[in-house]
Amino acid sequence: MWTLYEGGSWAENTLIGRLRYLDRFYVYCDSKFGQHALDNAFGDKNAERLHEIFDSFYISLTSKNSFSSTDVSCWDTVSRFFHYFANHWAVSSQQWRSLQKAVPQPGTLRASNKGRVKFIRALPDTALKGLLAVAEPGAADNPFITPAIQVRNWLLVLLMLLCGLRRGETLLLTLDSLKQDLDMRSGEVRYWLNVTNTSEEDLAYVDIRTTRPSIKTPWSHREVPVSESFAELIVRYIGEYRTESTEHQFLFTSDTGEPLSAESVTKALRMYSLAMEPDTLKAFRQRANKKFISPHDLRHTCACVRYVAFLSDGDKEKAMERMRVFFGWSKNSDMPDTYARAAIQDDVKNSVAKTFDAMLDTYRVSR
């Protein structure tokens, strides 16, 4: 009942994660208080018993020397679960109103960030050049052998780097996600990608991927403009390199025709990282404090560079609004400010942007 009424707007991965946290809570309750103790307390509307149960679980999470972000997420889910029912019962019961105040709200628990400072940054100039050098189809150091996989992975890199798509969003694209229309004012053909869930016609296919891609938020449904040459690359990939399947319409497929997995995208970037010059990889690791380039590093890079481009006319508010629309953030999101700071800190205008622009200028579909 909770997931039906409360979880209607959650992405599928969010729903799965919260159910797993709730399962952890149920296992704890069964072990600590006896089988079905939690459901019995809810069924009897026994506020005193529930207070004891929730207090015990909260203490079990917070009594450790340190608790993780997973513990934080687990408590937030458990607290949401409790307060959903308590909000209804508190209307007519002082006892439940008191219990509402006693059980900590979501967000009360915070994992310590001591020693774990996180910076959102564009890829260093050398790392970006190194990645593009090994990922380009036909490159001598490309770790993938077959042309089909090289072109597929190159297209994935471009979608995350130039269009700022999340990993899951690239894997939700279908054969008809690329759209075009005639601009009556300029007489030019405009191209864009429709970033959203799969169409109703494709719902007959059951996606069995371990990490099922999904749209992150309601604002993530959007149209992302692409150039004519980029559109031609997508069309060429579909016509010449994509492994066809009669089972589904997803754009990216494995060499057996199955929908490409999220793990395969991450693995591809790991292999590209290892294929870069040792000095380049070493510099990246020192700068980013991580071993391999990730899909989100490409989105970070795109956001930093796009901010600089959107700010070219000097209107910061307009630039922020364009960022929210382009990257699928809500109108109240502070992410544009985060990337604005990252762009300034990394001096993107004088480093990464040069490589970014040069790539756009020199890239040709014939490659």
Q: From first to last of its 367 residues, what are the pLDDT tens digits of the chain?
A: 788 877 777 777 788 888 999 999 999 999 999 999 999 988 888 888 888 888 888 888 877 666 677 888 888 888 888 888 887 777 777 777 777 777 777 766 665 544 444 455 678 888 888 999 999 999 999 999 999 999 999 999 999 998 999 999 999 999 999 999 988 787 888 999 999 887 544 556 677 787 878 887 788 889 999 988 889 999 999 999 999 988 889 999 999 999 999 999 999 999 999 999 999 999 888 887 889 999 989 998 888 888 878 887 778 888 888 888 899 888 877 787 777 766 655 555 444 445 555 555 444 443 4
pTM (whole model) above 0.75: no
Q: What are the E-state strand segments in 167-208?
A: 178-182, 189-195
Output the DSSP codes for 247-281. S--BS-B-TTSSBPPHHHHHHHHHHHHHHS-HHHH
Taking the C-alpha atoms of residue 200 and residue 223, their distance in angstroms, rounded to an integer, is 18
304, 119 in Cβ contact below 8 A?
A: no
- Domains of the chain: residue spans and CATH: 2-102 (no CATH), 125-362 (1.10.443.10)
Helix (H, G, I), strand (E, B) or coil at 226: strand
